Structures are given as structure tokens and as C-alpha cells.
Amino acid sequence: MEFRELLQIESQHREGRARVIVIFGPPGSGKGTQAKLLRDLLKIPHISTGDMLREGTSRGDSLGAEVRSRMRVGALVPDETVDRLVDARLREPDCAAGAILDGYPRTVEQARSLDALLLRLKLDELVIHLKVDYTKVIVRIAGRRQCTRCGTLYNLVANPPKEPGICDRDGQPLVVRDDDRESVVRERLETYEKQTRPVLEFLAASGRKIREVDGSDASPAEVLERIREYMVL
């Protein structure tokens, strides 16, 4: 790392500006959409463990196969695998000014690892909890499409691409994710209730303020506005 870069990191830490924004919420709550809007607004990286895992599993080794089979049925990938990915990513120089975490932490164990990591990296944290009603989640996910190259998300009802099946940004084909089929979505919601919702209790019990944003009936731009109100605090 260059000296100038180190100085920049130092000053960001001194001013208390470097922080990780954790976007928390059930599948289909709009985490990915908001994380991408925040990335463009704040010019800090968007770290999606789901996207990282999907990228990793396109390589054909045995760990890839195990991760792929868990994701396909809506189960979580082992904590150590995800912790390692996030640890390495947050240490990269482009995260010195902060980052947006989407889909992590998803278990109490992961929340503990993140605590320790943020302490080591001297990063502050802001937790945003996107709340939505589950019947809406199922409808939303059924219409979800994603670009195979850049990961941009579309929704056939709320946010369709200009040309059906094609990404507005790079002209690549859009696909339905393997785990977006309805039976798998129900499984993912159950996994969320059992393993991920307790993270909220863990965070609250350890004294963290959780900023709640209701994402059920608002447009992505309105949800973003609500999140921004918390960012100035």
C-alpha cells in the first residue's frame, strides 16, 4: 500500500467516517437493490456474500459443489467459508473508507466474527433492518431477474428492463436465480427465521442501535431516502 493511501485511511478513521453499513433483512426485502444504490451514492464497495458465493461456485472444485448444493435448497453455507470471504474482502484497500454489507452477518456466529473484524480494522458500523411482509416477498422474488454479468437486479413488475430479458447496462441476458423458485424461497424464509433473525436480538443485546426501515410499500428511491436519514446521525 502506498504512503498516501495509508494517510488517507488514517484521516478517515480519525474523522470517524469509515464505516460498514450492514443491510439486514429477509430474502426479497430489497437488500441488494438498496446496497447497489448506496454503493453508487457513497462510492464505497458493495459486498454481497450471495454474489461472492455464486461467483465462487461457478468454479468447478469440490467446495464449490458443496456450496452450490446448499444454496440450491435454501440452506446457509458454513460460517467459516463466509467469514473467510468477508474478512479477506474487507481488508482490501478499497474498503478503507467503508463498505456496504449485504447478506452478512446471517448467523449469530457470523455477527461475532464481524464484531472482532471491525474492531481490528477500526471500522464503525451502521445496521439497517429492512422489514417486509412475507407475502410480498414471495411475489417480489417470483418476478426477480438478474444480469448474468454485472449482477444488476430487475423486477418484471416494479422495475422491468427496457428490452425483455436483456440487461440495460451491458446487454447481457437476464436469468432467474436457481434459488428463486417458490418452494426454495419458502425454505429461505424459514432459514431466515431460524438462523438469521436471532442476529437482531444478538445485536440489540450487545447494545447496538438497529435502524428499522419499512420496505413493504415504498419504492426503492423512497427506501433509500429513509436510509439516508439515518446516515447523518
Per CB under 6 A, residues contacting ligand ADP are 27-28, 31, 49-50, 53, 70-71, 74-77, 82, 103-104, 106, 110, 179, 188
Q: How many residues does the chain have?
A: 233
Nearer to ligand ADP, 77 or 227 (CB): 77
Nearer to ligand ADP, 9 or 67 (CB): 67
Please name the residues in contact with 119: beta carbons below 8 A apart, sequence gap of 6 or more.
Answer: none
Least distance between ligand ADP and beta carbon 36 (Å):
12
Q: Which residue has the cell 447496538?
A: 208
72 in Cβ contact with 178 (< 8 Å): yes
Cβ-count burial of 13 within 10 angstroms (0-12 exposed, 13-18 middle, 19+ buried)? middle
Please count the other Cβ atoms lying within 10 Å of the Cβ belonging to residue 220: 17
Q: Which residue has the cell 453455507?
A: 77
Indicate the residue whose CB is closest to ligand ADP: 50
Nearer to ligand ADP, 110 or 155 (CB): 110
Least distance between ligand ADP and beta carbon 6 (Å):
30
Nearer to ligand ADP, 33 or 98 (CB): 33
Least distance between ligand ADP and beta carbon 229 (Å):
24
Cell of 141: 422474488
